Amino acid sequence: MHLFILVLGLTAGGSGLFLYKALVLNFPLIPRARTNLWNVEARVTFIARNRPVKVSLYLPRNSKRLVIMDENFISRGYGLTTTNQTQDGNRQAVWSKRKARGQQSLYYSSVVRQAEVKEPVARLKPPDTEFPKFEGPYLEAAESLIADIREQSADLDSLVAELMKRLNKPQPDSNVALLIGKQALPAKKVEVAVRVLSHAGIPGRVVQGIRLVQQKRDAPLLQWLEVHHGNVWKSYDPVTGEAGVSDDYLAWWRGTDPMGNIKGGNKLRVEIAVSINQEAAISSAIERGRIVSPFFVDFSLFSLPIQTQAVYRVLLLVPVGAFLLVVFRNVIGVKTFGTFMPILIALAFRETQLLWGIVLFSLVVALGLSIRFYLDRLKLILAPRLGSVLIVVVLLMASLSVVTHHLGLERGLSVALFPMVILTMTIERMSIVWEERGASEALQQGAGSLVIAAIAYLIMTVSYVEHLAFVFPELLLVLLAGTLLLGRYTGYRLLELHRFKALVKEQP
């Protein structure tokens, strides 16, 4: 029971962390995945009149799905101040200069990423600003419209949907026509909707923003409706009145004020350009993680130096090879030299590639084994014998590198990267098994070690395995749980079924 509880805890912990990183932080499940981000630029142009100039511009702000990052302000000779929270809850930049003359240009640029973030607490409060009250015939029209939509709605969502339906009719009734006026622009309809809802005691506001598209030089401003309900602001489509707006809508500011204002100049114009870009999904996930869960990212492998990360990209593959070794030894029944030696051989194959690795490994071990048998005649004790074999292995590796280089086989130079101690211990272990159990047993264990090393190499070099092991190291907890379960396996090994076939009796 203790083992099963431990296995269940390890599996739940590893799987939970994996799902959190994959679903919440959006860490990619496949290597070299790409994700979208948007470059947004606002260009402010105006004519200065040779006097002090002050230009204000609303700035975009974070939403539940989009995050503003890497903001830059470009201006020549202008002072800049930014406010993160104006009286109406908007962000604003203010450029100022003692004296300016002629055509002027100011720029604001930022990078927009997708991320799930919490709404700021300040946004949960209903607005303090009030729209001008309806008077005279406008008051009668608004109250009549409110009475009609309340009669044909059951809740807030249906009420807003019915209101927008009436405001967007091609041939509106007399009440709606009076409230909208002659210019039935989309912005005017949203403003009227907010005023009507406010008159009905339902706080609302106009949201000004843009749509993030693939490429747009002069992105138009869009308006949609936000209504305060409970403790949150709910967005509504300005055409259909349905709750929610498209995920690619970027809110710029709230209210009906113009996007920019100027003092000391005229002919102010603001142009917004949008372009889509792509970056590695893992980089985007890390940046998103710094926003959503900075503690989680700061204490992850991605906080380590690049060189250290490169080491762990290889080191984290060792448990994968160890699990494969457990399966091959305890379930299938393959014989090997020791427990970790095949895995270390597989890591060496990463430098030489598989075919050359097997050839060079077999050649060095065969030559070293012959030298080891010769040393037996000298009756050496263990430590000097191992030291002698190690020296011989180094000389063999150096000789093979020189020979393969002159033969034009540059891959043979990688033999120098083989772990010398592993080769030495392999030769020593094989010679002992040869003496104690015979040549057949020694060759079986040698062949089994090479087979497992080759299979482990093929699996450990799969890009998906490398990616999952490094990006989601918590999956090693699940691997540990599987290894613990295999540690209690006492059944037949697959290769032993043939060996004990004679013990099976046929049932009458």
List helix spans (H) across 118-155: 137-151
How far is 284 from 347, CA to CA, in rounded Å? 31
Q: What are the two backbone dihedrals, phi and then psi, of residue 128, each rounded to the nearest 5 degrees? A: -85, -25
Q: How far is residue 403 CA from its own chain's centroid?
A: 47
Report whether pLDDT(184) > 70: yes
- Residue 323 pLDDT grade (very low, low, confident, very high; cuts 50, 70, 90): very high
Report whether pLDDT(32) > 50: yes
Region 55-67: mean pLDDT is: 87
List helix spans (H) across 152-255: 156-167, 174-180, 186-199
Whether CATH 2.60.40.10 fits 37-120+261-282: no
Q: What pLDDT score was predicted for residue 331?
A: 86
The fraction of the chain above a pLDDT of 70, given in percent, is 91
Q: What pLDDT score was predicted for residue 27?
A: 87
Q: What pLDDT score was predicted for residue 63?
A: 79
Report whether pLDDT(42) > 90: yes
**Greatest mean pLDDT range, 8-17, 113-122, 183-192, 339-348:** 8-17
Tokens 């210019």 map to which residue?
183
Report whether pLDDT(476) > 90: yes
The three-state secondary structure class of 487 is: coil
pLDDT digits (tens, 9 = 90+) for 116-156: 665 554 444 555 545 667 788 888 888 888 888 888 888 88
Residues whose CB falls within 8 Å of the CB of residue 495, separated by 6 or more in sequence, listed in order: 332, 333, 334
Q: What pLDDT score was predicted for residue 123?
A: 47
Region 488-500: mean pLDDT is: 75
Query: What letter does residue 264 receive in the DSSP assignment?
Result: S
Q: How far is CA 124 from CA 117, 172, 250, 460, in A?
A: 14, 34, 18, 50
DSSP string, 423-434: HHHHHHHHHHHH
Q: What pLDDT score was predicted for residue 414?
A: 53
Q: How far is CA 110 from CA 105, 180, 198, 246, 275, in A?
A: 17, 36, 34, 20, 11
Q: Residue 59 region, left (φ>0) first, then alpha (ψ -120 to 50), else beta?
A: beta
pLDDT digits (tens, 9 = 90+) for 293-315: 777 778 888 888 888 888 888 88
Report the predicted TM-score, pTM, of the whole model to 2 decimal places: 0.64
pLDDT digits (tens, 9 = 90+) for 365-379: 888 888 888 888 888
Region 220-237: mean pLDDT is: 86
Structure tokens at 203: 């706080």
- Asked whether 365 and 479 are in contact (CB, 8 A), the reply is no
- Asked whether 259 and 270 are in contact (CB, 8 A), the reply is yes
Region 39-52: mean pLDDT is: 91
- Asked whether 179 and 142 are in contact (CB, 8 A), the reply is yes
Q: What are the two backbone dihedrals, phi and then psi, of residue 113, each rounded to the nearest 5 degrees? A: -120, 155
Torsion angle (degrees, nearest 10) of CA 498, 503, 506, 508? -170
The fraction of the chain above a pLDDT of 90, given in percent, is 19
How far is 66 from 82, CA to CA, in rounded Å? 20
**Greatest mean pLDDT range, 111-120, 257-266, 406-415:** 257-266
pLDDT digits (tens, 9 = 90+) for 384-399: 887 888 888 888 878 8
Q: What pLDDT score was predicted for residue 507?
A: 46
DSSP string, 27-91: --SSTT-EEEEEEEEEEEEEEEEEEEEEEEEEE----SSEEEEEEEEE-SS-EEEEESS-TTS-E
Counting runs of H as helices and runs of E as strands, what totals does the chain give? Answer: 17, 11
Each domain of the chain, given as residue ranges in start order, spans 37-120+261-282, 124-249, 310-503
Higher per-residue pLDDT: 32 or 43: 43
Q: What pLDDT score was predicted for residue 288?
A: 72
Q: What pLDDT score was predicted for residue 152?
A: 85
pLDDT digits (tens, 9 = 90+) for 334-367: 888 877 788 888 887 877 778 888 888 888 888 8
Structure tokens at 472: 């989601």
Region 75-101: mean pLDDT is: 84
The three-state secondary structure class of 451 is: helix
Q: How far is CA 457 from CA 318, 328, 358, 420, in A?
A: 10, 14, 11, 19
Report whether pLDDT(419) > 80: no
- Residue 413 pLDDT grade (very low, low, confident, very high; cuts 50, 70, 90): very low
Q: Which amino acid is at 298?
A: D
Region 282-302: mean pLDDT is: 78
The three-state secondary structure class of 508 is: coil
Q: How far is CA 394 from CA 90, 130, 170, 364, 420, in A?
A: 70, 85, 89, 10, 7
Report whether pLDDT(73) > 70: yes
Region 184-201: mean pLDDT is: 86
- Asked whether 346 and 321 are in contact (CB, 8 A), the reply is yes
Region 433-462: mean pLDDT is: 88
How far is 389 from 83, CA to CA, in rounded Å? 73
Region 28-48: mean pLDDT is: 87
Residue 310: in which H helix or E strand, if any? helix 306-315
Q: What pLDDT score was predicted for residue 319?
A: 92
Residues whose CB falls within 8 Å of the CB of residue 342, separated by 6 or more in sequence, listed in order: 321, 325, 336, 448, 449, 450, 452, 453, 456
Q: How far is residue 277 CA from its own chain's centroid?
A: 16
